[in-house]
Structure 1
Amino acid sequence: MRDFQFPGRSPVFATEGMCATSHPLAAQAAVRILQDGGNAVDAAIAGAVLLGFAEPQSCGIGGDCFVLLKPAGEERIIALNGSGRAPAGLSAAALRDRGLIEIGTESVESVTVPGAMDALCRLSEDWGRKGISASLEPAIRYAEAGIPVAPRVAFDWPEAESRLTGAARSFYLDQGRALRTGQIFRAPEQAEVLRRIARQGRAGFYEGDVAEDMVASLRAAGGSHTLDDFAATACTYSEPVSGDYRGHELVEHPPNGQGATAILMLNILSHFDLPALDPMGTQRAHLEAEAAKLAYDARDRFIADPDHTRRLNHMLAPETAARLAALIDPSQAIRQVSRATEAIHRDTVYITVVDRDRMAVSLIYSTFWGFGSGIASDRFGILFQNRGSGFTLREGHPNEAGGGKRPMHTIIPAMLRHNGRVQMPFGVMGGAYQPTGHVRFLTNHLNHGMDLQAALDAPRAFAENGKLGLERGYSDAVAAELAALGHQVVRLDRPLGGGQAIRIEDSGVLIGASDPRKDGCALGY
């Protein structure tokens, strides 16, 4: 139990249904859908699409999503891949011939076809109860009327001033300046897009005027995108990947998401006695950093489009983790492992919903970097993601850019299963940090007995690009000891990610938590 004399927040308890996400209005919209007879899918779609206007720097209808779904009355978990593909005309060879060594994060070549709206429409049709029109109604209303900019959103918005170009500046800036806390953000043009989707389903987005606006805007910027690329967009169902840790099964979305990286990290760390360590101490941070270096190197070698991913079984094999764990020296940091590709960012939203029938949804939704590619469609202001910058231009690499391919993705929803029963949908936002965030949250909870809120609140560290970034929650003494082990320690000026979780107790009680690094909350009824 937390000390009630210190600042903090208790987990949220309820019995009928619950939503946890990064903005209160989205959580409220999802719970209202549940109270009005919708199920977890209806509610998750409602909250997720609304987040595109509550947190436009993080997600939007020009982005991608991944979903894990536990149907009501079952314990199986279904994965739905809502990530879009590169246009057919994208060629790594042609980009290399231009002298490029990577795909720029603000380039039109980084824009992959949005996959989220196709996936959300499919999810609603296959698993929802109220239909896509009912799920989109809250977002339509808020896009039209406007949403006050929340403090964390205002903290992130200034980078838009340099990253947004062309029409995007008029849609997402106020006379060339970032919106501030409390200012109202409206997107009436996108409300019209959602009305078309409510009437026509996915065709309202991937065909007709909306698709023509997106394609014309991308081609004017030099893109190879075509109406056929948009019309061909289709999400895919697949089987999740999973791994055991201390008698619990971590279930992750398969490639092209990086969920296997979290499983590998846990497999590596299972060779060390983490529960015996100080949860805020030097040795735990050191071991996590070393495991991350090794697991992320494997990620960058193996994870790509599902049709091109190589040696996933090898990555998840216990023998692989054992060999990597043997490389870790508890008394000395190894040098940064070489990486085949970089895909670092911090802007994503996550939402989880559990309904009264115990259908559970774990959904993550993003335009990748803050405000995506910085390019928006001229008429409707649809901001395009820059997921294509997650490709590599290395010839022969499984994640080499190519027409019709899906890039390696950082966003990963998760669930935890115990004794065959789904116990907890959860997610941690933050781009490349996400596998480390999953590991940190789970080990806080499983190894150290922290409740869900405390497990999210606890300070975080992340090893990337040869440095070990520490949040301010780590003491100066721990920072000095990590430096003495050979880590190049830096104090972070921004928080690492954000997260949400809902635990489904055997008693039927739901326990929810939401990360203080974002503006959101868990709400139940």
Structure 2
Amino acid sequence: MIDVPGFRDAPGRGPAVAAEAMVATSQAPATLAGLDMLRRGGSAADAAIAAAAVCCVAEPMSTGIGGDAFAIVWDGGAATGLDAAGPAPRNAQPHEVPAAGGPRSVDVPGAVAGWAALSERYGKLGLDTCLAPAIDLAERGVAAGYHCSWMWRHTAHAPAEFGPAPETGQVFRLPDLGRTLRLIAGGGPQAFYRGPVAAAMAASTWLTEDDLAAYSAGWVEPLRYAYRGVDVLEMPPPTQGVAALEALGLLSAVERPALGDRMRAVALALEDAYAQVRDGADVSGLLTPSHLSARGQDRPRLLREPAGGTVYLCALDGDGMAVSFIQSLYESFGSGVVAPGTGVVLNNRAEGFGVSGSVEPGRRPYHTLMPGMLVENGRLRGPFGVMGGFIQAQAHVQYLASVLDDGLDPQAALDRARFRIDAGRVRLEEGLASSAASLEAAGWPVHVEPDRMLFGGGQAIDIRAGRILGGSDPRKDGFAAGF
């Protein structure tokens, strides 16, 4: 059995490079599928859909068609946000939020509707073509990456329908999921939200067939904040994107932010996000100069954050379109519920209502999913993102500080050791262990955490002076590549 390796005494690798186009994902087959779409004349949207679908097969504990998705699309001159997160059932009764998955932790899955909306507006090849690589892998089999294998083996409620957890490199198949993907490829999102698949999902959860049939994805305006002369774009509520932007706003007042400054800014911004991020909320006040100035004088509290699993990927095509895409079941294998005969693992996203205290019928909970995008002087700088549940806002700030403050390339920025504020303390990845004593002396409750899985995994593409650079997190199984 191969365990997850710790930090190694070896030089870091340089960034991936490309002349025209690039894809970065957390799974090797997904990167290859995205590149195949681009070589066939597809857009960055086609590449993102193909890669996301393959991740549903190659990393099924982290994502699936029973989950949600968000994206930011740069179409060559402007940015648009895709919101494909589903609500709780309309007839749900407010109750204590479930803590261990199950049928009553499921919200309407939005990912498939998101794929269809992205394909219709920005795709060139058609949804059926984009789903073909995932269908092939689900039916013929895919080799488990070592992070995939580790996460699967360490999941308490891995579904029996998927069989035993594969060892690293072992080929596994998901034929039921392959058949459902074929239905979607042939019939579009209606084959998922209506008919036998929808009936199976409703019969397995507290969702109704009407809840599923009524769902559609939407397009929204991203939030933005200028940090060090670069516009940082994040998604509005119900996501926590504003937390990253507020933290950057707090750091703007510091000429050369140190590690403690970054931790403090993140902690303060997360407090505000927990209090104000709700479905449909206006959070623009958190980014005003007056709020940032006043908030910067406060002492942060260390909140408790649950874990989560997700996949993030990004794509850039030769026409200048970029897609920053994130998709999730929330926790590993989501609710643990599989709709019989479909291979669809349902999300446990309703647990996000724990932030507000109870389930809200027909509304979406606090969301962790955060695709990011950088725009500099009106031109695309590049998409970026880091999966990992509630660490995402924290990791965005750390990535951006590494790139925009410290001048690192995207691979070096993703390689860099991270901190994570949760459980009333600050977890430090091993690479930050040398900072523990000084942080403790400054009053931070610190724990050096050997479990790398708690620190997320990111992907990024960064365009600098016409040079396309890419990075893929060593904490995951993928890579960045282009042509």
The two structures have a TM-score, normalised by structure 1, of 0.87
Contact 1:343/1:389, CA 8 A, preserved across alignment: no
**1:381-460 to 2 correspondences below 5 Å:** 381-392=343-354, 400-460=358-418
Task: Give CA deviations for 1:167-187 in whole Å, capped at 9, x if unaligned.
Answer: x3132x32xxx3221222211
| Residue 68, structure 1, aligned to residue 72, structure 2 | yes
Distance in structure 2 (CA, Å) of the matches to 1:217 and 1:523: 40
| Residue 474, structure 1, aligned to residue 468, structure 2 | no
TM-fit CA distance, 1:364: 0.3
TM-fit CA distance, 1:357: 0.3
> Helix, strand or coil for the counterpart of 1:154?
helix
> Helix, strand or coil for the counterpart of 2:312?
strand
Structure 1 equivalent of residue 183 of structure 2: 196
Structure 1 equivalent of residue 330 of structure 2: 368
Q: Which amino acid aligns with 2:312?
A: Y
Given candidates 473, 476, 483, the residue that maps to 1:515 is: 473
Unaligned runs of 5+ in 2: 1-8
Backbone CA RMSD of aligned residues: 1.6
| Residue 40, structure 1, aligned to residue 30, structure 2 | no
Contact 1:285/1:461, CA 8 A, preserved across alignment: no
Q: Which amino acid aligns with 1:159?
A: H
Q: Which amino acid aligns with 1:288?
A: R
Given candidates 233, 238, 244, the residue that maps to 1:256 is: 238
Distance in structure 1 (CA, Å) of the matches to 2:405 and 2:295: 21
Task: Give CA deviations for 1:417-437 in whole Å, capped at 9, x if unaligned.
Answer: 111112111111111111111
Given candidates 228, 243, 256, the residue that maps to 2:210 is: 228
Q: Which amino acid aligns with 2:289?
A: P
Structure 1 equivalent of residue 82 of structure 2: 80
TM-fit CA distance, 1:393: 7.8
Distance in structure 2 (CA, Å) of the matches to 1:346 and 1:64: 13
Task: Give CA deviations for 1:88-113 in whole Å, capped at 9, x if unaligned.
Answer: 12121xx2xxxx3x332313221001
Task: Give CA deviations for 1:338-361 in whole Å, capped at 9, x if unaligned.
Answer: x5xx66224111110000101100
Structure 2 equivalent of residue 485 of structure 1: 442
Structure 2 equivalent of residue 502 of structure 1: 461
TM-fit CA distance, 1:411: 0.8
Unaligned runs of 5+ in 1: 276-283, 329-333
Contact 1:343/1:390, CA 8 A, preserved across alignment: no
Structure 1 equivalent of residue 4 of structure 2: none
Structure 1 equivalent of residue 315 of structure 2: 353
> Helix, strand or coil for the counterpart of 1:367?
strand
> Helix, strand or coil for the counterpart of 1:389?
helix
TM-fit CA distance, 1:335: 4.4
TM-fit CA distance, 1:491: 1.7
The two structures have a TM-score, normalised by structure 2, of 0.95
Given candidates 7, 13, 16, the residue that maps to 1:9 is: 13
> Helix, strand or coil for the counterpart of 2:314?
strand
Q: Which amino acid aligns with 1:445?
A: V
Distance in structure 2 (CA, Å) of the matches to 1:67 and 1:345: 21
| Residue 128, structure 1, aligned to residue 86, structure 2 | no
Contact 1:393/1:401, CA 8 A, preserved across alignment: no
Percent identity, aligned pairs only, is 38
Task: Give CA deviations for 1:343-384 in whole Å, capped at 9, x if unaligned.
Answer: 622411111000010110000000000111111111112101
TM-fit CA distance, 1:457: 0.6
TM-fit CA distance, 1:254: 1.1
Contact 2:236/2:242, CA 8 A, preserved across alignment: yes
C-alpha change, 1:425 and 1:335, in structure 2 (3 Å) is closer
Contact 2:268/2:301, CA 8 A, preserved across alignment: no
Contact 2:175/2:343, CA 8 A, preserved across alignment: no
| Residue 265, structure 1, aligned to residue 259, structure 2 | no
Task: Give CA deviations for 1:497-521 in whole Å, capped at 9, x if unaligned.
Answer: 11111122443x3211111111111
Contact 1:293/1:464, CA 8 A, preserved across alignment: no
When Rg is computed on C-alpha atoms for both structures, the one with the higher figure is: 1
Q: List structure 1 segments (4+ residues) > 6 angstroms apart after TM superposition.
A: none
Q: Which amino acid aligns with 1:226?
A: T
> Helix, strand or coil for the counterpart of 1:432?
helix
